[in-house]
Amino acid sequence: MASDDPAALPDDLAPPASWGRTTVQTACPLDCPDACSLAVSVEGGRIQKIDGSHLAPSTEGFICGKVRGFDRRVYSAERVLYPALRRGPKGRGDFTVVSWAEALDHIAEKMQAAKAAHGAESVLPFYYGGSNGLLTNDMEDARLFRRFGASRLARTVCAAPTTAAAMALYGRMGGVGYADYAHARLIIVWGANPPASGIHLVAHLKQAQKNGAKLVVVDPRRTPLARTADLHLAVRPGTDLPVALAMIRELFATGQADTTFLEAHATGVAELRAAAEPWTLERAAEVAGIAADDLRTLTRWYASTSPAVIRCGWGQERNRNGGAATMAILALPAVAGKFGVRGGGYTMSNSSAWGLTAETWINTPQANTRTINMNQLGRALTELTDPPVQVLFVYNCNPLTTMPDQNRVKRGLEREDLFTVVFEQTMTDTAKYADVVLPATTFLEHYDIARGYGAYHMQIVRPVIEPVGDARPNHEVFRELSVRLGLTDADADDLGEAEGLMDVTGRMPEAMSAALHDGSVVTGPANGTPTQFVDLFPKTPDHKVHLEGAYTWQADPATAEFPLTLISPASEHTVSSTLAEFRPGIVKLKMHPDDARPRAIEGGDSVRIFNHLGEVWCLVDITPEVRAGVVSMPKGLWARSTENGATSNALVPDSLTDLGGGACFNDARVQVALRARH
């Protein structure tokens, strides 16, 4: 199905003339800030080797192990190869293969029937698309669901609080590029773990350290970077707000705030100062469970060192205070006057710095239908009545594994009167609950446009092999379904993904689309090394930094019954839940010796982690790597990685963050008990 009409593509982007032995230049669209350029060797239509290339300078010819081994997933026995209808009970994963025509007819019928009986809002598209580029998410799919009049989805599972915070303070301003970290004299890595979650920053951090820069890590875990840091603030999860506010208070109190910069470039200074006023270093340190002297040292270093840069990640956003915390962290460089020099300022997400918005190519009006927050999928499926969700269409997402309150999501997916479509590459835990499963191509089998949200690079993703089995790209499937639903012009119904790609690039600025068509790399502002307040300025309406906002502290929800905080950070072996199917054995919960001792838990024991929402059975690893009071297991685990099939999200509440309606993944409060000794 892919590119039946390659004539629509510029020569540089056409698929290989033969599928013989060749090396294809492409890019990685997975949910990772780096957007690497790839060189994939293919022989006889089969992938031989996936490696990094030098096309995007930041890739520097190397990539992570996840993608080097991605062919394992492409050819996996668990790959969904053909459209299929459920024949056993929901959740068992028992299916009968059917043709594409049969599957799509069936889906169209069910969607029309739901619309007739309950209204179009009874259909809910469910997608996130972190690992999708600009063509395979929020494109033809969005056109279809808008025209149909489906419920809208608030895509808040990730980065909603940080985006809301960054937008409020700076608008769509880009951040410091990776390569400029080598120029910094002080680097604060705050709620980020680049050696796992964005490996190409690491070499620049190391270079800076070699040049004599100081490294500070703010993280409840002793991460690999924390081990090499000059200072590690092992804060309690959710306490970054008081920590950052105390730094701000101290900067003002000691006359080290850059009042000249603030007067010229900021609003809301008095408001921020008032919010910071109650937070002395001592009080913040006590709440955060760190030494007041360490916080004083950090503040002193930050005030006196330039260039100083903050790499702000996403770990600190995933709790009740996550939005305000990120605002306070991002306010620091403005208060201390750290902008205007190369290697000074901050990096949050650079995705909005491209100035692209999907609205440009979706180009289809959105009716004012209801919006459902994806973090509350379980509630949407079990509680909504006006109308109830009757059709759930899942793609680019594995919600049973990745959304909060797993048991509620599961109860929703078990509903006999719910018709669930899962359009997937592999038989995920979610796909097992599908009434119809549709096979999707991977990024090695379809076109896409990958753009970095850390590295400033954008590049075409192109097929290096033909689709495996009967898999099809999103663009084509949503188009075909649109035709069946009578939502698209009959004379447009032959548009394939190649035309979709040309449609998107055709709506971009000319230089950008020309570079993409050439197969070259598009680089971000100032050649990917912009200096904030030299090359980049706030994109707020008045081009000022807006420091005003609600810096409201919500205290720790721990109780005597559930005293421990469970966090679930990114793992170097997976991208969210992608590739977690290959994790061997039962996962080990990380627990501090001081928490293990009173519970009589020893390394290697089987434990029960529980709260009022559910329980997880797994093994335990006793280690000072996590601070006392905190337990940790990786995000994205599949049911097979625990002894009872439940994962961290079975314990994560579906409460929302203070800003942006984000998920509180790192705000679960739990108890842990010994279950069995082996």
Ligand X SMILES: Nc1nc2c(c(=O)[nH]1)N[C@H]1C(S)=C(S)[C@@H](COP(=O)(O)OP(=O)(O)OC[C@H]3O[C@@H](n4cnc5c(=O)[nH]c(N)nc54)[C@H](O)[C@@H]3O)O[C@H]1N2
Residues at the interface with Mo ion (CB under 5 A) = 158
Residue 289, helix vs strand vs coil: coil
Nearest distance from residue 402's CB to Mo ion, in Å? 9
Which residue's beta carbon is nearest to the bound ligand X? 315
Nearest CA to 459 out of 53, 185, 161 is that of: 53
36 binds, among ligand X, ligand SF4, Mo ion, none (CB under 5 to 8 A by kind): ligand SF4
Nearest distance from residue 31's CB to Mo ion, in Å? 6
Say if residues 556 and 236 touch (Cβ distance below 8 Å).
yes
- Out of 26, 209, 299, 398, the only residue in the binding site for ligand X (CB under 6 A) is 398
As given in the structure block, the two tokens for residue 171 are: 């608008």
Of the pair 449, 483, the CB lying nearest ligand SF4 is at: 449
Nearest distance from residue 88's CB to Mo ion, in Å? 33
Under rule CB under 6 A, residue 174 binds ligand X: no
Tell me the number of residues near ligand SF4 by CB under 6 A.
12
218 binds, among ligand SF4, ligand X, Mo ion, none (CB under 5 to 8 A by kind): ligand X
Under rule CB under 6 A, residue 34 binds ligand SF4: yes
Say if residues 414 and 388 touch (Cβ distance below 8 Å).
no
Say if residues 149 and 369 touch (Cβ distance below 8 Å).
yes
Say if residues 609 and 675 touch (Cβ distance below 8 Å).
no
Under rule CB under 6 A, residue 67 binds ligand SF4: yes
Say if residues 147 and 482 touch (Cβ distance below 8 Å).
yes
Under rule CB under 6 A, residue 463 binds ligand X: no
Of the pair 318, 338, the CB lying nearest ligand X is at: 318
Three-class HEC string of 538-549: CCCCCCCEECCC
User: Tokens 């499963």 sit at which residue?
Assistant: 437
- Out of 71, 240, 258, 658, the only residue in the binding site for ligand X (CB under 6 A) is 240
Question: Residues 563-582: x/- map of binding to ligand SF4 (CB under 6 A)?
Answer: ------------x-------
Under rule CB under 6 A, residue 462 binds ligand X: no
Nearest distance from residue 580's CB to Mo ion, in Å? 14
Question: Residues 21-60: x/- map of binding to ligand X (CB under 6 A)?
Answer: ----------xx----------------------------
**533: exposed, middle or buried (C-beta count within 10 Å: 0-12, 13-18, 19+)?**
buried
DSSP 8-class letter at 610: E
Query: Which stretch of DSSP H or E encloses residue 675?
Result: strand 668-676
Under rule CB under 6 A, residue 40 binds ligand SF4: no
Under rule CB under 6 A, residue 197 binds ligand X: yes
- Phi/psi at 2 (5° precision): -65, 130
Nearest distance from residue 131's CB to ligand SF4, in Å? 9
Pairing verdict, β 46-52 and 37-43: antiparallel
* DSSP code per residue over 407-470: HHHHHHHH-TT-EEEEEESB--TTGGG-SEEEEB--TTTS-EEEE-SSS-EEEEE--SSPPSTT
67 binds, among Mo ion, ligand X, ligand SF4, none (CB under 5 to 8 A by kind): ligand SF4
* Cis before 598 (ω within 30): no
Under rule CB under 6 A, residue 395 binds ligand X: yes
Under rule CB under 6 A, residue 36 binds ligand SF4: yes
As given in the structure block, the two tokens for residue 335 are: 């208060």
Nearest CA to 139 out of 337, 303, 350, 360 is that of: 360
Residues at the site binding ligand SF4, with contacts judged by CB under 6 A: 28, 30, 32, 34-36, 63-64, 66-67, 199, 575
Instruction: List interacting residues with ligand X (CB under 6 A).
Output: 31-32, 128, 130-132, 136, 157-158, 190-193, 196-198, 218-221, 223, 235, 237-238, 240, 313-316, 318-319, 395-399, 402, 423-426, 428, 440, 474, 567-572, 574-578, 635-636, 648-649, 652, 665-666
